[in-house]
Homo-oligomer: A and B are copies of this chain.
Amino acid sequence: MQPKVTLYIAASLDGYIARPDGGIDWLRMVERPGEDYGYAAFYGSVDGVISGSKTFELARGFEPWPYAGKPCYVFSARPLDGARDDVIAAGRDIAAGMATIRARGHSHLWLVGGGALINSFQRAGLIDEYIVSTIPILLGAGIPLFPPPGIEQELKLLSCKHYESGLTQNHYRRI
């Protein structure tokens, strides 16, 4: 069975997932005690995580490790530094890597990012659902969520939520 792949990510109103230097300090503006914006429920729904190499290197610096209990597949042209047992190098070829991942019987995978991997997955038609949280800020510059060129894709809106912090969250399925 083909696992569902969901891009679950936050971006600024001008479409950046990080500052030019990779900084995500601005995400703190929507931190509210007791509000996780559906994160725990979403994380509970996936049985694996897919990451690019730079995003993995960022995550590796987090304490605790953010993808506990789920295998984390990392697409990277270079060897993974500081890997763990639950971190699996998926190579650099998306099609081959996804074949390996599918063979492990997953049902729902979280595509974490970053922009380059999202672009590769989108161009390969591999993203089934998009859950995009929009943070109420213009950054002015940064790492784009959807770096061009991508492919055209019509979407169906499944839900649209908004929160007191000003975060809005749109959930789409590709048509």
Instruction: Report yes or no: B136 in contact with A154, Cβ–Cβ below 8 A.
Output: yes
| A: contact size bracket | 35 or more
Which of chain A's residues 57-80 have a Cβ closer than 8 Å to chain B? none
Contact flags A120-136 to B (C-beta < 8 A → 1, else 0): 00100000001010101
Answer whether A13 and B154 are a contact pair too, CB < 8 Å, given A148-B141, A149-B140, A170-B168: no
- Please provide the chain A residues from 6 to 37 with a CB less than 8 Å away from any CB of chain B in the complex: 13-15, 29
Of B13, B122, B150, B172, the residue contacting A136 (CB under 8 A) is: B172
Q: Within the assembled complex, what's the spacing in Å between the Cα atoms of A5 and B142?
A: 26
Q: Which residues of B contact A130 (CB under 8 A)?
A: 13
Query: Are A136 and B149 within 8 A (Cβ)?
Result: no
Give the distance in Å from the alpha carbon of A170 to the alpha carbon of B13 in the complex: 10
Q: Are B153 and A137 in contact (CB under 8 A)?
A: yes
Contact: A138 with B157, CB < 8 Å? Answer: no
- In the bound complex, what is the Cα–Cα distance between A14 and B147 (angstroms)? 8
Which A residues form the contact surface with B (CB < 8 A)? 13-15, 29, 122, 130, 132, 134, 136-142, 144-146, 148-157, 160, 162, 166-168, 170, 172
- Additional 5 contacts, C-beta under 8 A, given A157-B166, A168-B168: A14-B150, A137-B155, A140-B149, A160-B160, A168-B170
